[in-house]
Chains A and B, each alone.
Chain A
Amino acid sequence: MSLAQSPLGRRDDLRAAFGGYLLALADDELVLGHRHSEWTGFAPDIESDVALSSVAQEEIGHARLFYERAGDLLGGTPDDLAYGRAPDGFRNAVLVERPNGDWGFTIVRMFLYDRADAVRLDALAGGPVEPLADLAKTLRREEKYHLLYGEQWLRRLAGASGSSKARVQEALDSAWVEAESLFDPVDGHEGLVAAGVIPTAPDAQRAMWSGQVDVILEAIGLRVPEGRRLPKGRPGGVDGHVRDLNGRAGRHTADLRILLEEMTSVWRTEPGAKW
């Protein structure tokens, strides 16, 4: 059964929001997968280089599967959706488009993101939209390794001597508010929750994520940063740089535009070409 034929997928009133949510999931995976792939050849050791390159391939593979389902509802092939949209058409969270920075930031972001991804996949896996629940269950198998890799690296970096711990703490502080924004709603999100397409509301998912993440961070001696203390929904510019950004609404940094220009450069030479 395709998504568009499922009972909730057939509802016209949900179609735009449902498609938008699937795009947000796909865009997160694609953009972060691309960031991971930028480490190929540059990671701290060859083992981590190979492993992170595999993770990058897997995230991009997951993006493809979400784009297929988004395309069922909104039209377009995965390639059209991945390569054919302008930056403001992207629904990924700003966190994943941030440049890699150092290894500490890369690992912290990976840890925070994959924990969040696990929470939302768990929700979908238990949800009523069968094709999506099946997909979520399949993806969780590979995500298990991503969780392991990020967390084990983070433990080592936080437990190492010298500047290592200070650098991951700094990375954590800088990533935190944007990590919370991973749970920001897409357009029409409330309707999706009300209809049961997404079984849990964004705030509940964020609380679940925070509960899991806090325990691990405290266990490895990192300080959990202050969250945003704002009315629900909008990032409020706690440290200045998130003020007007909202990836889920298509408001991105210039870094996403640069990333997409590079990522789509081959496709744009001959759109629609078969390889």
Chain B
Amino acid sequence: MPALMELLGMTQQQASHIYAVFRQDTKNDPHVHVGEVHATDAEMALVLAKEQFARRDLCVNLWAVPMSAIAATAYDDADIFEPSTDKSYRFGGSYREQQRVMRTKRRDQR
């Protein structure tokens, strides 16, 4: 698996100042990747991320992860996600709909 920064054509130097930000809407929600910030270190990344990604909508927690720590699949290998035969019997469309409904409920309860 390549490092994400290699995939994006970044040097270690460039990637060391970029932090991926994950936000959690409620304590029962997963942390979701919402973007990146430039910062000198992780602590500053969180300070900046608060205004970039938490000012328009309530959230309860943020993670900042150095870009250099993330491994990624290669887009050239994207065919690993393509089924060779019909897999509609195990696609989880209804799961996603259920998640959407549950998340709205959890937010209302907060």
Q: Which residues of A contact B (CB under 8 A)?
A: 45-48, 50-51, 54, 145, 148-149, 152-153, 156
Contact = CB atoms under 8 A, between A and B. Distances in A.
B38 A45 contact: yes
B67 to A, nearest CB: 15
B34 interface: no
Given A47-B52, A50-B51, A156 B38 contact: no
The binding surface of chain A is classed by DSSP as: helix
Contact of B52 (A51, A148, A152): A51
Interface size class of B (residues with CB under 8 A): 10 to 19
A189 B40 CA distance: 44
A46 B49 CA distance: 11
Given A45-B38, A47-B39, A156-B40, A149 B55 contact: no
Given A148-B47, A152-B47, 15 more contacts: A46-B38, A47-B37, A47-B51, A47-B52, A50-B51, A50-B52, A51-B47, A51-B50, A51-B51, A51-B52, A54-B51, A145-B50, A149-B47, A152-B43, A156-B44
B70 interface: no
B58 interface: no
Most buried by B among A46, A51, A148: A51
